[in-house]
């Protein structure tokens, strides 16, 4: 049985990836997020001096936009040096197609999807139900992955 709680967001991401990119946001000054203080750094087991040195070195790398520090699988610190704000959407261009293709492959391998020929109408019955244009009923996951409308 397909899990609509898993499949619907995956397909929504796939549809969103088909949209044209927004204009890039304006450049901003470097800003950091958690942890903001040395005490906060120590509370998650990070050496604040080493973290400061890493930020300094990372800031010298002209192509590096953001440094993320994870510990035990959880994001503990981040700092943006150039580019859009940390909470702004990033223009990933065609990278999203590769990521979504990999996620669809995983969903097929785990049995959440039957394959690329599976129509998407069953995931969105309120929008692509029996009253919808019959051509929309035939749009498949493979069509969306290849940026085709059917």
Mean pLDDT of the residues in the chain: 77
Q: Is residue 17 located within the same domain as residue 41?
A: no
Bigger pLDDT: 38 vs 67: 67
Q: Locate 83 and state its tokens.
A: 């580019």
Q: What's the confidence (pLDDT) of residue 111?
A: 95
pLDDT score for 115: 96
In whole angstroms, give the CA distance from residue 66 to residue 83: 8
Structure confidence at residue 48 (pLDDT): 83
Answer yes or no: do 69 and 103 share one domain. Answer: no
Task: Provide the pLDDT confidence category of residue 8 given band limits of 50, 70 and 90.
Answer: low
Q: Where are the beta strands (DSSP E) in the chain?
A: 31-32, 66-71, 74-80
Query: Which range of residues forms the domain containing residue 106?
Result: 4-21+91-145
Domain count, the chain: 2
Tell me the average pLDDT across 60-87: 85
């Amino acid at each position: 049985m397909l899990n609509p709680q898993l499949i619907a967001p995956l397909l929504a991401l796939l549809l969103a990836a088909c949209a044209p990119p927004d204009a890039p946001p304006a450049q901003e000054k470097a800003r950091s997020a958690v942890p903001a203080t040395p005490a906060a750094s120590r509370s998650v087991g990070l050496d604040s001096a080493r973290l400061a040195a890493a930020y300094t070195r990372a800031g010298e790398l002209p192509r590096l936009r953001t440094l993320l520090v994870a510990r035990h699988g959880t994001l503990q610190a981040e700092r943006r040096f150039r580019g859009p704000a940390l909470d702004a959407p990033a223009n990933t261009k065609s990278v999203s197609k590769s990521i979504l293709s990999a996620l669809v492959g995983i969903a097929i391998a785990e049995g959440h999807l039957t394959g690329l020929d599976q129509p998407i109408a069953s995931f969105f019955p309120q929008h692509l139900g029996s009253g919808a244009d019959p051509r929309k009923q035939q749009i498949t996951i493979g069509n969306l992955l290849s940026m085709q409308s059917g």
